């Protein structure tokens, strides 16, 4: 257990419905990442937060996807009007900003939320 938690662990939804996932990072980590992993592939970067600011979004993140991190603590990822192609494992990771100017590259992943769109 890395200390990163995600909820729910599994979500089955019908095409066209909206879904929201939550990620709670390790408490002292100010950086939070979302990745998507499809079957048999490595995780792909979606978006990144430093504290509450969303600093980068991948082109994989269509307009139907939105992520927030209010108050720089937990984060939510919402998918509107889900499509079957959205079926994947959605992973959250967090990292600290480093200590005394030494950047900490290590990202710690949560268990993921597996989304199935029927």
- 65 in contact with another protein (CB under 8 A): no
Q: Which stretch binds another protein (CB under 8 A): 12-20, 70-78, 80-88, 108-116?
A: 108-116
Report, in Å, the least distance between residue 10 CB and another protein: 9
Question: How far is C-alpha 18 from the chain's CA centre?
Answer: 16
Q: Measured between alpha carbons, how far is 61 from 51 in angstroms, rounded to an integer?
A: 20
Among 48, 75, 115, 117, binds another protein (CB under 8 A): 48
| Angle at alpha carbon of residue 93, lines to 105 and 110, rounded to 5° | 130
Could you tell me the smallest distance in angstroms from the CB atom of residue 16 to another protein? Answer: 27
- Find the shortest distance in angstroms from Cβ 111 to another protein: 5
Residue 94 in contact with another protein, rule: CB under 8 A: no
According to the binding rule CB under 8 A, does residue 75 interact with another protein?
Answer: no
Which residues of this protein are in contact with another protein, per CB under 8 A?
2, 4, 6, 31, 33, 35, 40-45, 48, 50, 55-56, 91, 95, 103, 105-112, 114
């Amino acid at each position: 257990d890395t200390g990163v938690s995600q909820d729910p662990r599994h979500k089955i939804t019908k095409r066209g419905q909206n879904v929201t996932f939550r990620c709670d990072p390790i408490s002292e980590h100010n950086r939070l990442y979302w990745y998507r992993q499809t079957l048999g592939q490595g995780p792909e970067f979606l978006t990144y937060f430093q504290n509450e600011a969303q600093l980068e979004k991948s082109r994989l993140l269509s307009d139907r996807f939105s992520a927030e991190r209010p108050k720089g603590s937990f984060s939510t990822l919402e998918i509107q009007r889900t499509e079957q192609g959205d079926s994947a494992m959605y992973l959250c990771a967090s990292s600290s900003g480093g200590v005394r100017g030494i950047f900490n590259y290590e990202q710690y992943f949560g268990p993921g939320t597996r989304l199935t769109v029927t």
